[in-house]
Amino acid sequence: MPVGQLVALRNKKNGVTVLTPDRSDPRNYLEFQAAGDPGGGDVQYVSEESAASPACVKAILHDVLELETDTMSPAVAQAFQQQMRVAKQQREQAEAQVALTIERTENTDIVGQDCVGPGDRPGKSCGASVPVREAALKDAAPLCPRHSALTAEYVPTVDYNGDKQTTRWIRSRMTEREREQV
Ligand SMILES: [Zn+2]
């Protein structure tokens, strides 16, 4: 395998995506700006090794990142396709297992989340507990009834940390009054 070859990864999401290829090395992470970033921050060049890491393969399978395969050497492209096949198979098997065992509970589990709406003090979030269906955690920001009208202003930041995936919600728009206070 040639050393030092870089491949281009593009963020397809309307929010920031953070990728930590190796969970045991959290200082080594990549941050992708939202798709279409005017400064080109939605594309990062990574080593072929990083591109084939489980975190990266997972982000690609979830349609979060897109790999520009024409920037890869043939040998690595082949190894990568193999990784993708294995990951896809594992996911399908896991999903089939889930469907067999916890199908009924999976979509109805309710979990408590802290409201991410603006709190009474600047820089603090509301924090009121909001019941959210577990299956809907990635669909919308947790917001209490007082802040539910702000839902369109929150964009997700998906964090791929090794094989663990978390979603954080960042407010993308602020009112004029809030801007003045900052
Ligand atoms: Zn709230």
CA of 162 to the centre of ligand 1 (A): 31
What is the reported pLDDT for 56? 86
Band of residue 181 on the pLDDT scale cut at 50, 70, 90: low
Query: Are the CB atoms for 148 and 126 separated by under 8 Å?
Result: no
CA of 13 to the centre of ligand 1 (A): 25
Q: Write out the two tokens for 11.
A: 């963020």
**63/150 same-domain check:** no
91-139 residue pLDDT tens: 787 777 666 665 454 556 788 899 999 998 888 899 999 988 877 888 8
CA of 22 to the centre of ligand 1 (A): 35
**13/96 same-domain check:** yes
CA of 118 to the centre of ligand 1 (A): 7
**11/97 same-domain check:** yes
CA of 74 to the centre of ligand 1 (A): 51
Of 101, 128, 160, which residue constitutes the final position of a domain?
101
Helices marked H in the chain — which ranges?
48-51, 54-61, 74-101, 103-106, 176-181
**43/71 same-domain check:** yes
**56/142 same-domain check:** no
CA of 124 to the centre of ligand 1 (A): 11
Of 101, 120, 154, which residue constitutes the final position of a domain?
101
Question: Residue range 33-57: average pLDDT?
Answer: 87
**77/129 same-domain check:** no
How many CB atoms neighbour CB 40 within 10 A? Answer: 10
Centroid of chain to Cα 160: 6
> What is the rounded distance in angstroms from the CA atom of residue 172 to the CA atom of residue 150?
10
How many CB atoms neighbour CB 44 within 10 A? Answer: 20
What is the reported pLDDT for 1? 42
**16/59 same-domain check:** yes
CA of 168 to the centre of ligand 1 (A): 15
Band of residue 71 on the pLDDT scale cut at 50, 70, 90: low
Q: Facing residues of 46 across strands?
A: 7
117 three-state secondary structure: coil
81-93 residue pLDDT tens: 787 788 788 878 7
Cα 162 to Cα 2, 18, 71, 136: the distances in Å are 24, 11, 24, 22
What is the reported pLDDT for 168? 86
141-171 residue pLDDT tens: 999 999 999 998 998 888 887 777 788 898 8
73-82 residue pLDDT tens: 777 777 777 8
Q: Tell me, yes or no, whether 42 lies in a domain.
A: yes
What is the reported pLDDT for 5? 72
**61/133 same-domain check:** no
